[in-house]
Amino acid sequence: MADKLQEIEEIIGKYRKAGEILSTVRSEAKEKIKVGASLLEVANHVEQRTIELGGFPAFPCNISRNDEAAHATPLAGDETVFGEDIVKLDLGVHVDGYIADSAITVDLTNENGDLVKASEAALYAAIDTVRSGVNTSKLGAVIEDTIHEHGFKPIVNLTGHGVGPYLAHVPPSIPNRHIDHGAVLEAGDIIAIEPFATDGAGIISDGALTEIFSLVGKKPIRLPAARKVLKEIEQYRTLPFARRWLTSDKLDYSLMQLEKAGIITSYPVLKEIEGGMVSQAEHTIIVTDDGCEITTK
């Protein structure tokens, strides 16, 4: 029993360390998000600084702008700079596979402060609702109601999620809207709550660009170039990776073949269907008997 308790404490300690690293990196990166600054430089800082501080990226640094809600990350050699954008910075850190996941929105338009506040207020209203025994449907209702009170809509087909060892998304889903049936939270659950608010329709769909992938299964692949890419991506286990992290030849064709074979899956950039502006706020928490602990504060 003592050994089991010690193991649990060690695991919780790794979640906390990942959160501490993320908090530092998030703060540094936020200061770098300015009109004229390079998206790639911000992403590189997030990922390299994470490693310097003793963690590893749990997924590629997401920098989604304006009507993009998620899954946007710079390309290799990307020369794109920030304009007067509303910027979602979503970053993940893991320590031995134990993940911290958090997001903030930086308003470079100076016109969308209320939209930013809507997702932030919804996040903290949901956090205030969390405790062991609470149903996730209640969190969804609180999130939707709070965003509506600020004059915006939640993105209804995006959710928060649990996190597990080397898995960035596991049950339970944390809805951003009213639902009839959810899951009951228990003490010790690790979840990421992430409301998205928009002045658009409140629905996202896949965009044309895809730069993020993850390994979902292993099976034989005939193409030598694809086998080489597969060997390169195995180091990321089940966690997402960016195309720009890879150095193999014939990369685009190899990734296409690996996806066609069901060995990897892709994550297209997600965009608001009416072109509405989107804000996001996210923290990872540990559910307790009487509330929760925010690991990414």
Catalytic site includes residue 7: no
Which residues sit opposite 66 in a β-bridge?
Answer: none
- 169 catalytic per annotation: yes
Active site annotation includes 181: no
Q: Which of 20, 47, 85, 101 is catalytic?
A: 101
Whether the link from the prior residue into 172 is cis, omega within 30° of 0, is yes
Is 161 annotated in a binding site? The answer is: yes
Residue of 67, 107, 120, 194 marked catalytic: 194
Q: Check if the beta carbon of residue 132 is closer than 8 Å to that of residue 198.
A: no
Query: Is 78 annotated as belonging to a binding site?
Result: no
Beta-bridge partner residues of 292 = 287
Q: Which of 145, 169, 178, 232 is catalytic?
A: 169
Q: Is 194 annotated as a binding residue?
A: yes
85 annotated to bind ligand: no
- Annotation marks residue 293 as catalytic: no
Whether residue 107 lies in the annotated active site: no
283 appears as a binding residue in the annotation: no
Question: Is 289 annotated as a binding-site member?
Answer: no
Query: Catalytic: which of 47, 272, 282, 283?
Result: 282
Determine which one of 20, 47, 90, 189 is catalytic.
Answer: 90
Do the annotations mark residue 45 as ligand-binding? Answer: no
Instruction: Judge whether 180 counts as a catalytic residue.
Output: no
The one catalytic residue in 20, 68, 107, 161 is 161
Binding residues for a divalent metal cation: 90, 101, 161, 194, 282
Binding residues: 71, 90, 101, 161, 169, 194, 282
Binding residues for substrate: 71, 169
List residues with catalytic annotation.
Answer: 90, 101, 161, 169, 194, 282
